[in-house]
A and B are shown apart, each in its own frame.
Chain A
C-alpha cells in the first residue's frame, strides 16, 4: 500500500514536471520573460547607481548583496559540515601533542 502511494505521488510529480517542459520558452528568444525591464535597468543605470565599471560586480555586491552574504555563509556551512564529518578537533589534538612531547 505504501509503495503504491509513493509511486502515485512520484508519477504525478513526473507528469507535472514533464508537462511544464513544453511550456518553457525557447532559448535565446527575444520575447522571453527573462529579458524584461530589470536587465535594461541594470545596463543603463548601474554606473550611476554604484559607480562600478563591472556590472556583474555591481549586481552581485550592491543590488543583491544580501544574497551574496548568504552565499558566503554557504561556504561556512560547508566547512563546518566537513570538519564535523571528518572529526578532527584542532584544539584537542594540539594539547595531546604537547602532552606527549612533554
Chain B
C-alpha cells in the first residue's frame, strides 16, 4: 500500500502500540491483561507495519529466523521455569512454595515466577501471530 498518510500515521502510532503491549505483558499479574492479550497487541503493531510498508520491509523488521527463535525460546523459558520446581524438590511449576521471592504486593516485581511465565507467553504469542501473518502473505504474493 503506497499511501503517505497511512505510512506517516503508522510511523507515529507504532511506538505507542508497542509500549502498550509491553506494559500489558509486564503488568499481567497486576492489571487486566496478561501474556496472551499483550502479545496480541504487540503483534498487531508489527502486522500494522507490514500492512503499511509492505512485506519486504516487514520481514526486515521481524525476520523469520528471529521470530522462530523467539517462539522456541518462549516455550523453552516456560518449560525450564517449570522444571526448576522439580529440581528444587517440588512439583512441576511450583511457585511460592518452591522458594521464589513473593515480593511486595502490588508491585511489578512480585508474585514469584508469574511475571516470568507471562513474559514467556507474551513472546510466544507475539512471534506466532507475526509468523502466521507473514507466512500467509508470502503465499499470496
Contact = CB atoms under 8 A, between A and B. Distances in A.
Interface string B52-86: 00000000000011000001001100110010000
Interface residues on A, range: 20 to 34
B3 interface: no
B117 interface: yes
A91 B34 CA distance: 33
A88 B55 CA distance: 15
Given A53-B30, A61-B117, A88-B135, A72 B124 contact: yes
A50 B114 contact: yes
A76 B136 contact: no
A79 B132 contact: yes
- Listed residue (A50, A60, A61, A65) with the most chain B CB atoms within 10 angstroms of its CB: A61
Nearest to A60: B34
Given A56-B34, A73-B75, A51 B111 contact: yes
B121 A51 contact: no
B118 A76 contact: no
Nearest to B32: A54
Interface residues on B, range: 35 or more
Interface stretch (B4-12, B15-23, B99-107): B99-107
B79 A69 contact: yes
B64 A90 contact: yes
Contacts of B64: 90
Contacts of B34: 54, 56-57, 60-61
Contacts of B106: 53
Interface of A: 47, 49-54, 56-58, 60-62, 65-66, 68-69, 72-73, 75-76, 78-79, 82-83, 86, 88, 90
Given A53-B106, A54-B32, A86-B138, 17 more contacts: A50-B95, A50-B96, A51-B110, A51-B112, A52-B30, A53-B105, A54-B28, A54-B31, A57-B34, A61-B28, A62-B95, A66-B82, A68-B121, A69-B78, A69-B82, A69-B93, A83-B135
16 contacts: A51-B105, A52-B30, A53-B30, A53-B105, A54-B31, A54-B32, A57-B34, A58-B114, A61-B28, A61-B113, A69-B75, A72-B78, A76-B124, A79-B128, A86-B138, A88-B139
